[in-house]
Structure 1
Amino acid sequence: MIEAKDLTKRFGATTAVNNLSFTVQSGQVTGFLGPNGAGKTTTLRMILGLNQPSGGTVTIDGRPFASHPRGLRHVGALLDADDVHRGRSARAHLSALAHSNRIPQRRVGEVLDEVGLAAVARRRVGGFSLGMKQRLGIATALLGDPPVLLFDEPLNGLDPEGVLWVRGLFHRLAAEGRTVFVSSHMMSEMEHTADRLVVIGQGELIAAESLTEFAARGSRLSVFVRSPDIAELAPVLAAEGAAVVPGEDGTCRVTGLTAVRIGELAFEHRFMLHELTVRASSLEEAFMELTADSVEFLAGEAR
């Protein structure tokens, strides 16, 4: 379990993380989300003792990470897949870490097999693609068979097969009772991967809850309408104050009117309806809405 209490980090006059409190439970995958510059990487670095907090505390299983001897046996982490000696082979990189953490050398071969790098284990890392480096970073995190795992953007550079593999890996690790904390900007992937979310903006907590609870906080309920009379129905709905977004032939997405009112208007004007479906916000829509005030850089903003 990871527990942060009033965690704060300042860099000079800049506050990167401000009084942040959350808990990451074992036995589930917790997604860590936030806009660029929200303080996610700084928070992960404080969890691992790479940055010292300006205030507050963060512990792993009740203790600061620095107090755990031979850390890879307790916490595995992937923060930067490119932060590897380019002249070493994958096997040499993992062997050195295994030796320094008193991990049996047999684990090197096991994790190379698990991440699909056994065939290139003796190649220099400098010749690896980004996806291969991500797999090596995951192998490094798994090396000590730790109960707690942290991953910062682990899907960057992976092909679709790799994304599916990582998704399955995280689910398996959580099912084994481990703590899995995953920072990602890929909202759609978090819908398939995470059980719970910790969402921050400008270094402060926005939400710490299940995916379903978070998506439900988005206020943008919409109604999907399918009708052979959609071209005539759309202006009627717009005249009632609805926002109408045309879709494929015979469909549109409507916000600003309830499904009941849309049905009433269709009946009054004798338009046939084939489908009328209420749709809640997706995870991505809820994220964009709830973090809108925390985005540091907006495309198209005035200069």
Structure 2
Amino acid sequence: MIEVNQLTKRYGGVTAVNGLTFTVRPGHVTGFLGPNGAGKSTTMRMILGLNRPTSGSATVDGQPFARRRHGLRHVGALLDAGDAHPGRSAAAHLWALARSNGLPRRRVAEVLREVGLEGVARRRVGGFSLGMRQRLGIATALLGDPPVLLFDEPVNGLDPEGVRWVRGLFRRLAEQGRTVLVSSHLMSEMENTADHLIVIGQGELIADESRTEFAARGAGARVTVRTPDPDELAAVLTLDGASVRRDGSGVLTVTGMSAGRIGELAYERRIMLHELAPRTASLEEAFMESTAGHADYVVGGRR
């Protein structure tokens, strides 16, 4: 479990993270979202003890990560796919880390096999593509078989097969009872991967809830209703506080009211329904609406 409590980081007069509090629990994939400059990477670095907080705390399973003697046994992380020395082979890079963390040599072969790099184990990292370096970074995170894992933009550079593989990997890790925190700017990936979302903007918490609950915030959430009595139903729904748009063919598009409530009102007024189809906002729509006004950079220049 990762616990962040009133975490704050200032660089001179700039506040990168401001009083952030959240908990990442085991057993599901937690997406960590926010606009560019929101403070996601800074927060992850503070969780790992790479940046010192100005105030507040971040703990992993009850204590600061920096106190762990063999860190890779407790937390695995991919923050930058370019961290490996370009002159070393993939196997040599992993073996150096395994040795410093008291891990058996067999783990090097095991994780290289798991990420699909077994055939290039002796190639120098400098000759790897971005996708191969991402896989090596994931292998590094898995090396100590840790209960807690953090991944910052892990699908950058991966081809479609690699993206599908990494989705399945994160789900398997969560199903094993591990704590999995994944930062990404790709809403489609979070929609397909994350169970829970932590959303921040300008270093402050915007949302901490399930993916379904977050998507339901979006104004794109609406209900399509088809009825032989559109005028009567529209009047009933409007009176009850919904917004109703008609397309002239008996189809109503309703916002601000659930499908269940629409069905109840139609039943009470004996209005026949031919279709009642809720449409949840996409994760991207909900994200854009929730983070509006929280982005440091917008088209046309800095906010």
TM bracket (short chain): 0.7 to 0.9
Q: How do 1:244-283 and structure 2 match up within 5 A?
A: 277-283=277-283
Give me the CA root mean square deviation: 2.7
1:132 offset after TM fit, Å?
Answer: 0.1
Identity of aligned residues (%): 69
- In 2, the alpha carbon distance for the partners of 1:138 and 1:29 equals 15
- In 1, the alpha carbon distance for the partners of 2:196 and 2:252 equals 29
1:256 offset after TM fit, Å?
Answer: 6.8
* Alignment deviations for residues 185-208 of structure 1 (CA, whole Å, 9 cap, x no partner): 111111111110110000000011
Partner of 2:266: none
Partner of 1:68: 68
Tell me whether 1:207 sits opposite 2:192 in the alignment. no
- In 1, the alpha carbon distance for the partners of 2:56 and 2:76 equals 23
- In 2, the alpha carbon distance for the partners of 1:78 and 1:135 equals 10
Report SS of the residue matched to 2:165.
helix
Letter in 2 for 1:182: V
- In 2, the alpha carbon distance for the partners of 1:193 and 1:88 equals 32
Give the TM-score taking structure 2 as reference length.
0.83
1:219 offset after TM fit, Å?
Answer: 2.7
- In 1, the alpha carbon distance for the partners of 2:255 and 2:96 equals 60
Q: Would the alpha carbon gap of residues 288 and 116 (structure 1) be closer, same or farther in structure 2, given more than 3 Å must change?
A: same
1:278 offset after TM fit, Å?
Answer: 3.8
Contact 2:223–2:255 (Cα < 8 Å) also in 1: no
Give the TM-score taking structure 1 as reference length.
0.83
Tell me whether 1:103 sits opposite 2:107 in the alignment. no
Partner of 1:86: 86
1:275 offset after TM fit, Å?
Answer: 7.0
Structure 1 residues without counterparts, runs of 5 or longer: 227-240, 261-273
1:277 offset after TM fit, Å?
Answer: 3.9
- In 1, the alpha carbon distance for the partners of 2:95 and 2:246 equals 59
Q: Would the alpha carbon gap of residues 51 and 85 (structure 1) be closer, same or farther in structure 2, given more than 3 Å must change?
A: same
Tell me whether 1:50 sits opposite 2:50 in the alignment. yes
Tell me whether 1:217 sits opposite 2:217 in the alignment. yes
Letter in 1 for 2:76: G
Partner of 2:271: none
Q: What number of residue pairs does the alignment pair up?
A: 274
1:209 offset after TM fit, Å?
Answer: 0.7
Partner of 1:138: 138
Contact 1:198–1:208 (Cα < 8 Å) also in 2: yes
1:82 offset after TM fit, Å?
Answer: 1.0
Contact 2:225–2:254 (Cα < 8 Å) also in 1: no
- In 2, the alpha carbon distance for the partners of 1:101 and 1:280 equals 46
Partner of 1:39: 39
- In 1, the alpha carbon distance for the partners of 2:203 and 2:8 equals 8
